[in-house]
């Protein structure tokens, strides 16, 4: 969580007027009071949203730790802090609880004022972050293979992180680290050539999976073909024109097929974000010789190896990481060393996020340990593995087709559409065919995405059609429906939400709860940006939708007196905007009706 350090006044003023961040404001205020009560300037007030209503809206939990350091009784320190804590106009009540917690109850008039501001401010009152250049490595499918379920999570979660960081004002560089290099390209080029000679290259490449399979079969069965393929690997690596051209054709066709999937998924990747493994080829020889010169890499049984004390092999000895094979070939690790260096040196990254399967954790740690030891990327630039678990079927085993094959992403999305179509048609018998179709596409794709986004990414996750398409619970259809429900209030009132400029008064508890939660959007989004955890945003939006329902059921809008009606409509307008904006940072589309 964001906590205030030094520069209290500077930080405090940054949050007044321009942005709405209750936690940051209270943190600044409490730490100021703590310092006046004798705490060191870098004390952590630990201001958090309270877990229970009886503990107020926010709690400051940092007193105990500081009291311990100062050798004071925590409650006594809390008393002194309270004497210095000036929350006039912000809190209606501040009290000490338990061993020295401070419970803060926000003032409703102040909340109302903040809510009013949030609507008017750009980005719903979310402050522009100090812009960083952030490289996000995600999606990364392999050339001459179709995207399959193994790439879903990286693509979807990575894109949500990208959208979130961009919303906050960062300069985001999308890096699609596609697998476009390796010895298999000799085989693929030779096979493409064979197909071209037989005049069915285009057709064959339309089904990449079959193309790859056939290429492999031919390679295994036909020695003349295999010989030719091996020759092409060498030529390709040597920069031969013909081989380069054929290689490029394979990359182009694969990526234009993938682009269709990205567009359909509402994922922001384009062709210009492709920074495949091949991009780093030219750097590899230099890296190997540099690592040798630095004494980090040594010759071992003909290969070039870096021994790392940080990792141990089965015998308990330092683990050897091969960076160049006996035959001169480089490895996936060598490429990732070069790639990290490039992202820092050339792209000038301040931070690099990698959305990669958790099974590649050790690989990344080894590459980065070498990167740090060689001084290619300073410690001040974080290299973060935002790992995720596997996608499992309902039976808890890796998600496969009935016959045990990998599931193609395009087939998965077609099925999502089909299932959503049935559902939408059932719910809207009167709707035109065209509208049902377009709604089904949005709902189906969103359901697949949201199901993934709403779960903590670190664990494996069970892919279940029925759960993700349910209209109850934390699902895309529920969230999209909740949004249309808010909009319907404006239709009924005959008022345009955007033109509304009414005062907000919070009289009912439910109004105050809704307003407080609405004002926590920045707290949530900064957390998602820091940890790369979109499920935190999903949980927030789901909670928000629930609070809106409670408010809507208990606080009449259309039948209320003028002042109350407009105030409640204003809250509804902020809810609609927040839901829409929140879903947008996740890459989930909203619809007007469903
Ligand atoms: N293409 C790889 C795969 O399909 C993922 C690449 C991830 N990014 C990286 N910098 N290693 O497993």
Query: Angle at the Cα of 62 (from 60 to 63), degrees rounded to 5?
Result: 100
Read off the tokens for 375.
């001084």
By C-alpha distance, which of 518, 500, 503 is closest to 106? Answer: 518
How is residue 460 annotated by DSSP?
Answer: -
pLDDT in tens, 241-300: 999 999 999 999 999 999 999 999 999 999 999 999 999 999 999 999 999 999 999 999
pLDDT digits over 383-393, tens only?
A: 999 999 999 98
Residue ranges of E strands in 357-506: 383-385, 391-392, 461-462
Cα of 388 to ligand 1 centre, how many Å?
Answer: 13
Q: Is the CB of 137 under 6 A from ligand 1?
A: yes
Strand partners, 94: 104
- In this model, does residue 16 exceed pLDDT 50? no
Degrees, nearest 5: CA angle 301-304-309: 95
Pairing relationship of beta strands 461-462 and 391-392 according to DSSP bridges: parallel
Per-residue pLDDT tens over the stretch 61-83? 999 999 999 999 999 999 999 99
Residue nearest to atom 6 of ligand 1 (CA): 140
- Rounded Cα distance, 425 and 391, in Å: 29
Q: What is the pLDDT of residue 6?
A: 35
Q: Residue 354: in which H helix or E strand, if any?
A: strand 351-354
Q: What is the pLDDT of residue 210?
A: 86
Kind and range of the H or E run holding 48: strand 47-49
CA 355 to chain centre: 8
CA nearest ligand 1 atom 11, residue: 336
pLDDT digits (tens, 9 = 90+) for 24-70: 999 999 999 999 999 999 999 999 999 998 999 999 999 999 999 99
| Ligand 1 pocket: which of 177, 337, 377, 391 to mutate (most atoms within 8 A of CB) | 177
Residues in the chain: 594
Q: Is the CB of 275 under 6 A from ligand 1?
A: no
DSSP H helices in 199-298: 201-206, 208-221, 223-237, 241-264, 284-293
Cα 266 from Cα 443, distance rounded (Å):
12
> Packing angle between helix 208-221 and helix 184-197, nearest 10 degrees?
100
> What's the CA-to-centroid distance between 138 and ligand 1, angstroms?
8
Identify the CA nearest to 133 among candidates 182, 171, 91, 93.
171
Closest atom of ligand 1 to CA, residue 336: 10
The pLDDT value given to residue 201: 67
96 three-class SS: strand
Q: What is the pLDDT of residues 190-214, one digit of tens each?
A: 999 999 888 776 766 778 888 899 9
Q: What percent of the chain has pLDDT over 70?
A: 96
Q: Which residues have a Cβ under 8 Å from the Cβ of 423 and sit 6 or more positions away?
A: 440, 443, 469, 477
pLDDT category of residue 7 using cuts at 50, 70 and 90: very low
Q: By mean pLDDT, which of 13-17, 168-172, 283-287, 397-401 is the weakest?
A: 13-17
Ligand 1 pocket residue status of 339, Cβ below 6 Å: yes
Task: Identify the pLDDT of residue 81.
Answer: 96
* Cβ-proximal residues to 553 (8 Å cutoff; 6+ apart), any chain: none
Whether the per-residue pLDDT at 145 is higher than 90: the answer is no
- Cβ of 142 less than 6 Å from ligand 1: yes
Question: Which distant-in-sequence residues (6+ apart) come within 8 Å of 288 by Cβ?
Answer: 297, 304, 323, 324, 330, 334
d(Cα 431, Cα 313) in Å, to the nearest integer?
63
Q: What is the pLDDT of residues 513-565, one digit of tens each?
A: 999 999 999 999 999 999 999 999 999 999 999 999 999 999 999 999 999 99
CA 587/CA 590 separation, integer angstroms = 10
Angle at 362 between CA 358 and CA 365, to 5 degrees: 110
Could you read off the pLDDT of 316-326 as tens digits, one per residue? 899 999 999 99
Which of the two residues, 5 and 351, has the higher pLDDT score? 351
In the predicted model, what is the mean pLDDT of the chain?
93
pLDDT of residue 203: 67
pLDDT at 469 over 70: yes
Q: Are 152 and 263 in contact (CB under 8 A)?
A: no
Q: Give the relative orientation of helices 184-197 and 223-237 as an angle to the nearest 10 degrees.
A: 120
182 alpha carbon to ligand 1 midpoint, in Å? Answer: 13
Q: How many CB atoms lie within 10 A of CB 528?
A: 25
- CA–CA dist 430, 570 (Å, integer): 32
pLDDT at residue number 18: 57
305 forms bridges with which residues in the sheet? Answer: 298, 322
* DSSP E strand boundaries for 361-416: 383-385, 391-392
**Ligand 1 centroid from CA 179, angstroms:** 7
Q: What is the pLDDT of residue 120?
A: 87
What does the alpha-carbon distance between residue 458 and residue 448 come to, in Å, rounded to a whole number?
Answer: 18
pLDDT number for residue 50: 94
pLDDT at 13 over 60: no
Best residue for ligand 1 mutational test, from 360, 361, 363, 387 (most atoms within 8 Å of Cβ): 360
Q: Does the C-beta of 331 come closer than 6 Å to ligand 1?
A: no
For the cut 50, the answer to whether the pLDDT of residue 1 exceeds it is: no
Ligand 1 nearest atom to the CA of residue 178, by list position: 1
Q: Which of 141-155, 177-191, 245-259, 374-388 has the lowest mean pLDDT?
A: 141-155
What ranges do the domains of the chain cover? 22-107, 133-179+279-385, 409-585
**Rg of the chain over all Cα atoms, to the nearest angstrom:** 28
Write out the E strands in 125-209.
Answer: 133-137, 171-175
DSSP code, position 499: G
Q: Are 351 and 304 in contact (CB under 8 A)?
A: no
Residue 9's pLDDT is: 40
The domain defined by 22-107 carries CATH number 3.40.462.10:
no
Q: Given CA atoms 519, 525, 533, 481 in this order, what sign does their dihedral have?
A: positive
Q: At what angle do helices 108-120 and 562-586 cross, to 10 degrees?
A: 60
Strand ranges (E), 98-239: 101-106, 133-137, 171-175
CATH code assigned to 409-585: 1.10.730.10
Phi/psi of residue 33, nearest 5 degrees: -65, -35
Give the separation between CA 169 and CA 132, rounded to whole angstroms: 8
Protein residue closest via CA to atom 9 of ligand 1: 177
pLDDT at 19 over 60: yes
Three-class SS state of 471: coil
> What is the rounded distance in angstroms from the CA atom of residue 530 to the CA atom of residue 393?
30
Q: Please state, for a pLDDT cut of 90, what percent of the chain lies above it.
A: 83
Decide: helix, strand or coil at residue 65: helix
338 CB within 6 A, ligand 1: no
Structural fold of domain 133-179+279-385: Rossmann fold (3.40.50)
Check residue 200 and give its pLDDT. Answer: 73
Mean pLDDT of 449-473: 93
pLDDT of residue 209: 81
In this structure, the residue with its CA closest to atom 2 of ligand 1 is: 140
Contact 281, 324 (CB under 8 A): no
Q: Is residue 352 within 6 Å of ligand 1 at its C-beta?
A: no
pLDDT at 149: 77
Pocket test for ligand 1, best of 275, 343, 356 (most atoms within 8 A of CB): 356
Strand partners, 101: 97
Closest to 138 measured CA to CA, from 588, 589, 587: 587
**Dist. CA 526–CA 240, nearest whole Å:** 48
What is the 332 CA–ligand 1 centroid distance (Å)? 9
Distances 283 to 288, 304, 423, 492 between C-alpha atoms, Å? 9, 16, 53, 63
For residue 356 and ligand 1, the question of a CB distance below 6 A is answered with yes
C-alpha to C-alpha distance for 559 and 550, rounded to whole angstroms: 17
């Amino acid at each position: 969580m964001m906590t205030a350090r030094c520069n209290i006044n500077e930080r405090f003023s940054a949050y007044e007027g321009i942005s709405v961040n209750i936690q940051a404001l209270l943190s600044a205020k409490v730490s100021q009071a703590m310092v006046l009560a004798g705490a060191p300037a870098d004390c952590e007030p630990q201001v958090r949203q309270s877990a229970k209503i009886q503990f107020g809206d926010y709690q400051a939990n940092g007193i105990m730790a500081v009291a311990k350091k100062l050798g004071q009784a925590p409650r006594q320190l809390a008393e002194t802090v309270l004497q210095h804590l000036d929350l006039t106009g912000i809190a209606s009540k501040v009290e000490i609880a338990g061993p020295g917690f401070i419970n803060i109850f926000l003032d409703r008039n102040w909340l109302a004022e903040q809510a009013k501001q949030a609507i008017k401010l750009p980005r719903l009152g979310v402050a522009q972050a100090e812009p960083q250049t952030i490289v996000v490595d995600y999606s990364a499918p392999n050339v001459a293979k179709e995207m399959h379920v193994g790439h879903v999570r990286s693509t979807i979660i990575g894109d949500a992180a990208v959208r979130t960081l961009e919303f906050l004002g960062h300069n985001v560089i999308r890096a699609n680290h596609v697998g476009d290099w390796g010895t298999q390209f000799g085989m693929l080029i030779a096979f493409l050539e064979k197909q071209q000679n037989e005049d069915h290259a285009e057709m064959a490449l339309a089904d990449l999976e079959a193309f790859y399979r056939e290429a492999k079969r031919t390679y295994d069965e036909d020695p003349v073909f295999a010989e030719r393929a091996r020759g092409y690997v060498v030529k390709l690596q040597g920069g031969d024109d013909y081989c380069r051209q054929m290689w490029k054709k394979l990359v182009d066709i694969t990526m234009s097929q993938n682009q269709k999937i990205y567009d359909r998924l509402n994922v922001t990747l384009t062709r210009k974000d492709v920074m495949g493994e091949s991009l780093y080829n030219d750097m590899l020889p230099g890296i190997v010789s540099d690592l040798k010169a630095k004494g980090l890499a040594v010759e071992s049984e003909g290969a070039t190896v870096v021994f790392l004390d940080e990792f141990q092999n089965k015998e308990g000895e330092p683990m050897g990481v091969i960076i160049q094979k006996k035959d001169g070939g480089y490895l996936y690790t060598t490429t990732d060393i070069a790639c990290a260096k490039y992202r820092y040196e050339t792209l000038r990254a301040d931070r690099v996020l990698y959305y990669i399967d958790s099974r590649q954790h050790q690989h990344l740690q080894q590459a980065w340990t070498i990167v740090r030891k060689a001084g290619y990327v300073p410690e001040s630039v974080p290299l973060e593995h935002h790992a995720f678990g596997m996608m499992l079927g309902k039976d808890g085993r890796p998600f496969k087709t009935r016959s045990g094959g990998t599931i193609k992403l395009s087939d998965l999305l077609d099925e999502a559409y089909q299932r959503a179509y049935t559902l939408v048609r059932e719910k809207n018998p009167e709707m035109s065919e065209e509208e049902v179709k377009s709604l089904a596409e949005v709902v189906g794709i969103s359901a697949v995405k949201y199901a993934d986004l709403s779960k903590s990414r670190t664990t494996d996750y069970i892919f279940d059609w029925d759960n993700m398409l349910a209209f109850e619970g934390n699902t895309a259809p529920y969230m999209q429906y909740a949004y249309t429900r808010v909009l319907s209030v404006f239709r009924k009132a005959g008022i345009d939400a955007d033109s509304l400029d009414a005062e907000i008064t919070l009289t009912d508890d439910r109004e105050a709860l809704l307003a407080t939660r609405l004002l926590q959007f920045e707290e949530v989004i900064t957390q998602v940006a820091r940890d790369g955890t979109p499920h935190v945003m999903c949980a927030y939006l789901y909670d928000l939708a629930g609070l809106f329902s409670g408010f809507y059921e208990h606080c009449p809008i259309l039948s209320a007196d003028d002042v109350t009606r407009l105030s409640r409509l204003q809250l509804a307008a902020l809810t609609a905007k927040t839901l829409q904006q929140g879903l947008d940072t996740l890459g989930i589309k909203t619809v007007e009706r469903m």
